[in-house]
Homo-oligomer: A and B are copies of this chain.
Amino acid sequence: MNLKKRVELITLGDELLLGLRTNTHLNFLGSHLARRGLAIVRNTVIPDDVKEIERFFPISWNNADIIITTGGLGPTSDDNTRETIAKCLGLELIFDPWIKEKIEERFKPRGITMNNRQLRQCYKLQGAEILANPVGTAPGLYLQHQNKILIMLPGPAHEMKLMFEKEVLPRLVSIGIMDERDSFLQLRTFGIPEGQMEDYLEPVLKDYPEISSAFCVSQGIVDVRLTPANHDYCSKKLRSIGEACAENLGEHFINFGFNPPAQYVLDQLRSMEKTIATAESCTGGLLSSAFTDIPGASKCFVGGVVCYCNDAKIQTLTVPEAIIQQHGAVSEEVAVAMATGAAEHFFSDYGLSITGYAGEGDGSPQNPQGTIYIGYYSPLGAWAQKVVYPGERLAIKQRAVNAALDLIRRKINKFKLAEFLLEEVQ
């Protein structure tokens, strides 16, 4: 991390403080800055209110080298950021005809004429560069002042993200504050607890004291980040160290980088020209939704069934009623029958299923809340696996989905060759 530069993010918005909207700006900016060697050391969420900005903006300005603000640049009466920060820094606001032209261009096809409130967006801080907004009216601002950098971005998430990628990132790279490429190598893993990760990495990393490792845990996924002490470290050498670590991690290693587990599974299936279908009960469609979050999923993901009552399991997935009666709807046997039923129903090569107890008050003495069975069907056979997770309904649902994606990843890796051979024999 580029710890010589302190980055602070100020997120403006009453709706965040009232708990009505989630602060996804921090997720996006935090992860994108970290990848290129810059860390956000503090995020402040305040209302878009003149007094609060006057109270807290100067504290961030004094404590950081780079200050990013999001929100409060629009035309409404509660957008106060531009004017208040100009006042805090003792800078004038200057009318910019280029901004006016751009906004008018956006409005013209829709027959909107610019009013006085819209005109406020045409002012920039004295000395600032304009950050073009390709998908909205409010432009961003970029100011180098008092040996610091101020970056003001709009609040709507898709405007903020595009502006950061197209306008901010190239500027910070060109002045050498952000790295041109990722500053660390990430190994995504599943199945090794954070506390045991060192045992797998130590045999490799002990020979490279210049490489430090850090772990990030999220819903069962453990990311290992290998960071060289020196920014100019040979990327080929870092990669070969990463590959040696990956070999030690064995089948727990998923891939290098940031792709979600569903993407890895779909990539594998696409390379094999195979298709998959899903069957879910307690996750209620979250597994199929994870697949369909990936662009191009339709090439391999055929469809899914959510069976929330036993009748639906019996009818749609042709799970034999006797199996449900004998073993219960939450059992290895039903998980396997659901996965098989999904593949048969959608004429897919693979089937993946989840059945379990996710909600408060669900479950039985043998299978308490958090008990999940994952079923897997493939041309070579069918399996099931039991996992148990603590926590709340939504956390259990998410972990179950990750566990299911991980099961099929392992099975495909293990049997890929065998399944190809089988196909040739048939």
Contact = CB atoms under 8 A, between A and B. Distances in A.
A65 to B, nearest CB: 15
A17 B41 contact: yes
Given A297-B308, A305-B305, A32 B19 contact: yes
A302 B281 CA distance: 10
Contacts of A52: 41-42
Nearest to A47: B41
Nearest to A32: B19
Nearest to A313: B303
A334 interface: no
A319 to B, nearest CB: 12
Contact of A291 (B21, B43, B216, B284): B284
In the complex this chain forms, how many copies of it are found? Answer: 2
A293 B397 CA distance: 9
A367 interface: no
A395 interface: yes
A303 B288 contact: no
A300 to B, nearest CB: 9
A76 to B, nearest CB: 10
A285 B304 contact: yes
A271 interface: no
Interface stretch (A22-30, A89-97, A233-241, A417-425): A22-30
A359 interface: yes
A161 to B, nearest CB: 8
Nearest to A39: B17
B22 A24 contact: yes
Contacts of A27: 19-20, 22
A238 to B, nearest CB: 20
A346 B45 CA distance: 47
A312 B346 contact: yes
Contacts of A302: 308-309, 311-312
A259 B292 CA distance: 27
Contacts of A393: 293, 295
Contacts of A218: 15, 20-21
B59 A31 contact: no
A394 B412 CA distance: 28
Contact of A292 (B26, B297, B308): B308
Contacts of A297: 284, 308
Q: Which of A293, A309, A391 has the most CB atoms of chain B within a 10 A radius of its CB?
A: A309
A107 interface: no
A286 B285 CA distance: 6
A310 B378 CA distance: 23
A347 B311 contact: yes
6 contacts: A15-B216, A18-B31, A18-B40, A23-B23, A42-B44, A316-B345
Given A23-B23, A277-B312, A302-B308, 8 more contacts: A18-B31, A20-B31, A22-B27, A41-B52, A42-B56, A43-B45, A284-B293, A295-B359
